[in-house]
Structure 1
């Protein structure tokens, strides 16, 4: 029997997020919130609310880092709340700037140590994520998800608003949408949501019954599960047809990209596109796959780990069976499992232009026939993605790690 305390994570930039979390408050439930509005003054305010009490605690910004503060306060707090006999459920209301995937990753992996009376370990020893609920406003979400405005929570936070809001929806087990007045925009938003989070039940209401919504979450929900670089790119069964101009595109190739041509073509994924995610094979990096993710005008390029074909026997022994099985279906005698697979969610872009730009960035027949030349080409996707469009030569949307970044 799982004796861990259930945890409901409520996220989103819609003001209704506070009401959604509060609606879950009842005897035995405790609501935790960290307010980042005074971040510029070096303060985070933690609020812990029960049906009988509300306590506000100011916290100094540890190491000048939001994530450090939340990890050093939130994770030990979750473990301590589990030990309270009067706490049956925890509701964690995230600040609008926070992404639930990064928080769930920290709950699962970051070790809480040196706490009296506790065995060192992650908060997941004591709490389990039962649901992630995301709240959004139909009147503003599409504009946020397709733009390039930066969040700027801290000086070194280079995420865009689009990356945050798309991540909040994509990771959700259930969605609460505040209806808008524009019927066409609402129809387009519905088409996006059913493709971005196809398993998530949706309630369109400014005053939702969140408890009832939780009961509609299907068994297939991820409930805090973190996707890896080789996880399926299409979760659930999203519609693949066109609806209000919204469509999922699948691009696959069995030959590598030319690094410089891919770098030039990648801009096609940043205009009229809600989301791109996938693994790519770049000719100059034969041992490592690259993970490409975009949301609106924000781009992330990361190393996705070695191809199976370049792994040591020890690494192969630890590879998931599902990845081995999928690779076996398309294994090439020369290049093994190396390939490209991208899924692109468009809402205002020409699919043929995307397919054309990506197709032209692949190696030509002549280039593919001379692999001895590949290492000699310049590679903008080296240790750091060099972008000639930025003053410092480094793309502001790029991260060098393939895990959710908990050190923003």
Structure 2
């Protein structure tokens, strides 16, 4: 059986951290095939079943491959203090990663996430959530001991696009707890957007449907390498090793990006393919809050996903962050504009953001602007731009200045966020100056 190569172990030798591969997807069998195809000697494959999470129970299977190629698989049921996904990460997944790191026979960990868990908040939790009480280890995040080597998304060629463009809640299809407000589309889009590599399984209805799917995938994540999980060509360690080797130097590998980072990843094709196109909207004047509240519905029909920074006339100090997946959309805080920061705060900002802002700095408004990117599969790009443009301040409104804008009614308010939900939400973990994780709204 193939052993871990010197090249594959070089990361761990140089950083003393155990390489971690995260596998995510809706189909448990496809995720399991992908995870176990990475299982060479020295690998620990971890799978969680959270179907009993509502009862406070998590089922965990850890399979290790010894030097002789022998498989040792053990399944346990663990009780949680609180039956929620956040507690499952905090009390089971993160401590387990730290413990596996200490095992001399574990050279790589493959974590196959339950369909209810997302790779982005999991990656954020690995980097930031303190794990305490692990025997023989200093309290700290799991990121002290493991380093994300790759995030692999498993995508069903026959169902993913329908999942990504719907508005069904996870709870309605039995993929989350009763109070889970996330949608199937949110997770489906996240499986692709945050992935460093994709494994496509299943079969599209016809060639056109398959072509449309790949047109969407290459616009959501243009640089991601993709392989097919086919019955006639089963996944093997050699195939999976080649997939990971094909991951480019710009891959995220668990890195969390912020609202002021570039909205477009890589260089997606800008030409329309199978009706799929990238729609860009940008303006250097603020939105009228009530008109924007009405206009954003244009992003919920015929659009796979959208994200953007918003300058709202009534809120001059901080950007708002917009993101949509299928028929669901979220508005949250995006952190302070540079123009609203103190000198001490500006000194902590990423130099790349400062450089980009300097290229379009306005003498009155500084770096304030609005920028939205959407992936359309049915919507008319001209209609999207027209509706969003109509929500901007008119010339007369712009002339009234901030004192006049402050009189506008603002439907974008503040809402309480439960601490357990915060851990599931990568936006609550962004290190953004002036951010306020408690501010959020859903449509």
- Which TM bucket (shorter chain)? over 0.9
Kindly tell me the number of residue pairs found equivalent between the two proteins.
392
Deviation per residue, 1:106-152 (Å, 9 max, x gap): 00111112333212211111100000001111110000000000012
Alpha-carbon distance between aligned partners in 1 of 2:387 and 2:81, rounded to the nearest angstrom: 45
1:204 matched to 2:225: no
Unaligned runs of 5+ in 1: 386-398
Q: 1:25 aligns with which of 39, 51, 59?
A: 39
Per the normalisation by structure 2, the TM-score is: 0.86
Alpha-carbon distance between aligned partners in 1 of 2:318 and 2:115, rounded to the nearest angstrom: 34
Q: Which residue of 2 aligns with 1:297?
A: 327
- SS for the counterpart of 2:291 is helix
Aligned positions of 1:5-404 closer than 5 A: 5-14=18-27, 15-51=29-65, 52-152=71-171, 153-178=176-201, 179-206=203-230, 207-208=234-235, 209-371=239-401, 372-384=403-415, 402-403=428-429
Runs of 4+ in structure 1 off by over 6 angstroms are none
Q: Shift of the alpha carbon at 1:44?
A: 1.3
Alpha-carbon distance between aligned partners in 2 of 1:4 and 1:23, rounded to the nearest angstrom: 22
- SS for the counterpart of 1:376 is coil
Deviation per residue, 1:239-297 (Å, 9 max, x gap): 11100010011100000000000000011001100110110000000001000000001
Deviation per residue, 1:303-330 (Å, 9 max, x gap): 0111000001221111111111111000
Deviation per residue, 1:12-53 (Å, 9 max, x gap): 113311111111112100001111122333321011011321
Q: Shift of the alpha carbon at 1:90?
A: 0.2
Alpha-carbon distance between aligned partners in 1 of 2:426 and 2:254, rounded to the nearest angstrom: 23
Indicate conservation of the 8 Å contact 1:276/1:342, yes or no: yes
Indicate conservation of the 8 Å contact 1:291/1:402, yes or no: no
1:2 matched to 2:32: no
Indicate conservation of the 8 Å contact 1:278/1:293, yes or no: yes
Deviation per residue, 1:207-251 (Å, 9 max, x gap): 333232112111121111111111111111111110001001110
What root-mean-square deviation, in Å, do the aligned CA atoms of Structure 1 and Structure 2 show? Answer: 1.6
Q: Shift of the alpha carbon at 1:402?
A: 4.9
Alpha-carbon distance between aligned partners in 2 of 1:234 and 1:275, rounded to the nearest angstrom: 12
